[in-house]
Structure 1
């Protein structure tokens, strides 16, 4: 019997009503619990990350929809499965095991997880334990895009830094290239500098008829070159790229822009038709993956093409290679202009040498004419005058006196003729040699100027080419002339040495001393002429002056044999 609250028995109606009320009371908490669960699931599904709750047995108790979709399962299908059952995230499984094994109630770790579709994603997983550490909630914040952005930024910074290093290295290489003085030297230095950076350099230059790009220089190993020659069937030294109208290379050089492309593609477009099918094989044989092609252009004038190839080249390297190519083109232009200047200088030196030789020959001719013709005529005149003087009447004393004066005048003229002939071309230089000619000249200089002279000569006469001996003697004469005119010296020293095949002439004085500005003055034509005279023989002359202490002139030249001629 059922009793009411006062202990009185309930009737049957009251019993029915009470049972209904108890059932309703029990259903309401169940519905509320389900509603709370649905609301919680909705909240978890809205979280922009993966959420799961896992038991201490390492099995899923639940998850949000984002995690289920990543595993290509429904949330219900995931319940009861062991963590890491798909093998997609060993890192997550290890983290869950370590977390439950540790006394910590909270932890976090960055992990990588591969989705069912195969995509790899990165998460920061935060974990917390509940229910006496029997359950833990794991929340994974998706860092994939952030990681990708960081990786892209890191890669960009690395590429920028690498590009800057390459730019700096190529800038330094450009300085070495600028020091080259011939096109061949420029080509060699370019190859050396690019090879030092771990790449290959290939240089093509336009032929004179501007119909081809001829291979001028490359840095490939001989074995690789032979392999490429075997594939292509042509010799590398004969290799030329056609300069076809509207062709790939013509467009490239006309536009003047540096390009970055796979080597195989470049060869396929640049090679003649029969060889295009071999482009990829050639690229493989040469071990070339990427290439940067940079036109060599200065002032609108195209000289050729620089190709830099090798592993690791990227689009970011284009500016550095472009700058290097510009410097290379300038170096080639400078080398061309320098070659022209050198050729002009050589022509001028040859002309000056020819004029000096012609002048010496003319001097020798005039000296011989004066000595032989005028000297003989004066001698004959002296003899005739003597014959006449002997036949004068004894009472004509004034005529005898006159003939004596005339005879003395003829003697003076003969001496003048000899002096002029000697100054034009010392006979000692031709008949005895340079040492005797220098000794005669210093004696004559001392007598004429009153300047004390010290002379240090070897015991033996030097066997020299006559033209070289003449050049050295004329330089010696010019040096003494400068001392007499400008130095104000009271003493001069001369030393002629033969040092192991090198002839050294040293002339010093104790005069005012040449200044550096006087030595470098382009208007010092005498010094310039002395330099040019000895330079024609591969020699050198220096002028060292100290104020109020004098000047030292030192001439050095390799001594060829008497018949050796110019070096």
Structure 2
């Protein structure tokens, strides 16, 4: 086997002698010879144009490709078609053991021996690609039959394969794969091999871009999982604090109020004329009542126990009434759903989205009416909150500093859904949340 590094290919390599039947004497005249030279020149020009078109097509495809497989298949097909090569295939590096694995991506002529030859390389491995893997450079191999094992050698002879060309696919000097081609031609075309080498670097950029996209996607998934976990921890802490405030502090204040009331009654029996003292005690009772109401309100805001005890629908109904009472904003509620998931995470996430949306209306919208609907669509739960307020520009609700909207959107995404904000200045705002009804699998994946 003869091996050439592409950088060492002799552009003036000696070609096989021209058969006698095509000698100048047999052509008949100088004019005939000139015609053949013109034809050869024209064919060479067309070939160079084809190579330039190939580079342009691959460069364009590399910029538009969404996945590596499509650009690999396109490049292999076009290279073999222009080079008139019999077989083109791809080996991809396996990260586990740094070995090369034959990919299904290939171009192969309709030749039984050629297909068997490809299968044998897949089973036994390719000495050509392995050499390129070690040396990290393009190599042209000639008289390859002398280097193959008996079975593969016979198949290569039957398929009339004389030469092979293999070149690495590199990403930041790291090998990710090898392109391998087989031809019946013994003499390489340096300009064509140089073009293929350039194509290999274009493919390497697609690999690099895909790696960057995968890394970004993984980072986003990790951040989303972290955000979801932080939400869970916060809800757990809220529930714990709410119960402690409601059960401990609430009970102490209730006992304090009872003791003050008993004290008032006892004093009233002993000294009915102590009006000033009675006034002070009544003030103390009012303070105790206010404190008890504050404790109940704080505990409810931290984690509505009605949500814990009765469920999402009842929680939304209660919060709508409470919101209308506190803000004076009319809240029209329409609920048409019967198949809500039972998971607490599901109910809590939807309730918090609803709660945050109403809070935003109270703070920013200057609205006097809100319409809330909770409905089922095929396989989806649809929550819609619309107000008749001042609205807001796109730059505001898409602002990355709008932490409330970001939190609402993240809660929806964790459940496998999406949140959309529709708003124009002076025309109110609509928040639409679409969440799959079957989201328990997403919850399990996240945990």
Q: Give 3-state SS (helix, strand or coil) of 1:512's partner.
A: coil
1:518 maps to which of 391, 396, 401? 396
Unaligned runs of 5+ in 1: 1-113, 124-141, 181-185, 270-274
Q: Is 1:153 the counterpart of 2:41 in the alignment?
A: yes
User: Equivalent residue for 2:224?
Assistant: 349
1:397 CA drift (Å): 2.7
Matched-pair contact (CA < 8 Å) for 2:92–2:176: yes
Q: Is 1:293 the counterpart of 2:156 in the alignment?
A: no
Structure 1: how far apart are the matches of 2:425 and 2:243?
43
User: Equivalent residue for 1:130?
Assistant: none
Matched-pair contact (CA < 8 Å) for 1:191–1:217: no
Q: How does 1:94-493 map to 2 (within 5 A)?
A: 119-123=25-29, 142-177=30-65, 179-180=66-67, 186-187=68-69, 189-191=71-73, 194-195=76-77, 201-208=88-95, 212-219=99-106, 227-228=116-117, 231=120, 235=123, 239=125, 247=131, 249-251=133-135, 253=136, 256=137, 258-259=138-139, 265=144, 275-283=148-156, 291-308=164-181, 315=189, 316-392=191-267, 393=270, 394-458=272-336, 460=338, 462-493=340-371
Q: Give 3-state SS (helix, strand or coil) of 1:457's partner.
A: strand
TM-score normalised to structure 1 length: 0.64
1:23-44, CA deviations, whole angstroms, 9 ceiling, x for partnerless residues?
Answer: xxxxxxxxxxxxxxxxxxxxxx
Q: How does 1:547-558 map to 2 (within 5 A)?
A: 547-558=425-436
1:93-122, CA deviations, whole angstroms, 9 ceiling, x for partnerless residues?
Answer: xxxxxxxxxxxxxxxxxxxxx999894214
- Cα RMSD (Å): 3.5
Structure 1: how far apart are the matches of 2:377 and 2:314?
19
1:537-567, CA deviations, whole angstroms, 9 ceiling, x for partnerless residues?
Answer: 2111111211211221111111127798456
1:515-543, CA deviations, whole angstroms, 9 ceiling, x for partnerless residues?
Answer: 22223322222222222221112111111
1:17-74, CA deviations, whole angstroms, 9 ceiling, x for partnerless residues?
Answer: xxxxxxxxxxxxxxxxxxxxxxxxxxxxxxxxxxxxxxxxxxxxxxxxxxxxxxxxxx
1:447-506, CA deviations, whole angstroms, 9 ceiling, x for partnerless residues?
Answer: 222222222212647333210111111112221222222222232221111112211111
Structure 2: how far apart are the matches of 1:418 and 1:354?
27
Structure 2: how far apart are the matches of 1:284 and 1:420?
85
Structure 1: how far apart are the matches of 2:372 and 2:23?
98
Q: Give 3-state SS (helix, strand or coil) of 1:219's partner.
A: strand
- Residue 158 to residue 461, structure 1, CA distance change in 2 (3 Å): closer
Q: Which has the higher helix share?
A: 2
TM-score normalised to structure 2 length: 0.80
Structure 2: how far apart are the matches of 1:510 and 1:483?
9
Matched-pair contact (CA < 8 Å) for 2:58–2:71: no
Moved more, 282-291 or 547-556: 282-291
Matched-pair contact (CA < 8 Å) for 2:71–2:203: no
Structure 1: how far apart are the matches of 2:321 and 2:160?
76
Task: Pick the structure with greater CA Rg.
Answer: 1
1:416 CA drift (Å): 1.0
Unaligned runs of 5+ in 2: 1-19, 82-86
- Residue 211 to residue 198, structure 1, CA distance change in 2 (3 Å): closer
- Residue 172 to residue 426, structure 1, CA distance change in 2 (3 Å): same
Q: Give 3-state SS (helix, strand or coil) of 2:251's partner.
A: helix
Matched-pair contact (CA < 8 Å) for 1:433–1:461: no
- Residue 461 to residue 216, structure 1, CA distance change in 2 (3 Å): closer
Structure 1: how far apart are the matches of 2:277 and 2:52?
104
- Residue 260 to residue 491, structure 1, CA distance change in 2 (3 Å): farther
User: Equivalent residue for 2:12?
Assistant: none
Q: Give 3-state SS (helix, strand or coil) of 1:522's partner.
A: coil
